[in-house]
Amino acid sequence: MKLLVTGGCGFIGSNFIRHIVENYPDYTIVNLDALTYAGNPENLRDIENSPRYRFTHGKIEDTATVKKLMKGADCVVNFAAESHVDRSILDAQPFLMTNIVGTHVLLEVAKESGIKRFIHISTDEVYGTLPPQADESEKFSEESRFKPNSPYAASKASGDLLVRSYHETYRLPVIIVRPSNNYGPYQFPEKFIPLMITNLLQGEPIPIYGKGENVRDWLYVEDNCKAIDIILHKGKTGEAYNVGGDGEMKNIALARNVLSMMGKDESSIKFVQDRPGHDYRYALDNSKIEKELGWNPSVKIEEGLQKTIQWYKENEWWWQPLKERLSVESKGFWEK
């Protein structure tokens, strides 16, 4: 099988490519990535010389490039996205171009190319937020209405609707994947968990929005890659699948866990002004993917955090240049 993976130099995309290379020796992968701030070729240094892997630097908005690379491909897995909420608040335009216009280009070319499966990676943020007064058992299902609260989330919701429309109108064999907050190796160090770990390794405080009461569901990236793998091979076309980690936790509790695991105390916490429109809680109902495809998360949050901390300790060569590249202004960008 030949896969076209877009955004494969990003955090989840690179982990997915490595997962496919390691588990499917007869598959070939073409990786199209624009190498924006979070796209890093070093994420795939260990497989860059594999005869089954080829990288092309380019944008999914470029129709000519997409046509060239999609020729002969069996399936498309679209990770390409501008994905950071805080950056979308400062400047939404790149999010509209990549997450909406770029997705449209991919769909149009896929329609013309006879693609067998088009897997679109979305986000739990399209559903908006669960309020503080909601019962803990209340979670978003695939049928929950969209109510995005940031330009990033709105752009992803728009992309989802485009993808769905191409199935309904043209019968394009699409599937939408909506994961919760991923964490693990190769995550850009302005995101919440790697920011905490790398700051502590450098003797710096860890920033927490507001009082740290916001709740996120954490999904170890390897579990997400396994879910996307199963959806690619066995998912039902025209459907969407939630992929939650069963790891709900308040940001302040997560921070305390990381501090404890790294031998630090709460004097390392620095509370900062909350961001505009900060969603209170995300939580996904996994019933559909569990019942239909037999997937459920295998890495508990405590185990995943330990593995992630150890990876960042052992791979300073990877994250140190990225930390140096972040400007003073961008250091406020953390947490998806």
Task: Point out the residues that are catalytic.
Answer: 124-125, 152
| Alpha carbons 257 and 311: distance in angstroms, whole number | 17
| Alpha carbons 308 and 304: distance in angstroms, whole number | 6
CA–centroid distance for 21 within its chain? 19
Name the residue type at position 44.
Answer: L
**CA dihedral sign of residues 80, 225, 3, 290:** negative
- HEC secondary structure over the chain: CEEEEECCCCHHHHHHHHHHHHHCCCCEEEEEECCCCCCCHHHHHHHCCCCCEEEEECCCCCHHHHHHHHCCCCEEEECCCCCCHHHHHHCCHHHHHHHHHHHHHHHHHHHHHCCCEEEEECCHHHHCCECCCCCCCCCECCCCCCCCCCHHHHHHHHHHHHHHHHHHHHCCCEEEEEECEEECCCCCCCCHHHHHHHHHHCCCCEEEECCCCCEEEEEEHHHHHHHHHHHHHHCCCCCEEEECCCCEEEHHHHHHHHHHHCCCCHHHEEEECCCCCCCCECCECCHHHHHHHCCCCCCCHHHHHHHHHHHHHHCHHHHHHHHHHCCCHHHHCCCC
Name the residue type at position 220.
Answer: Y
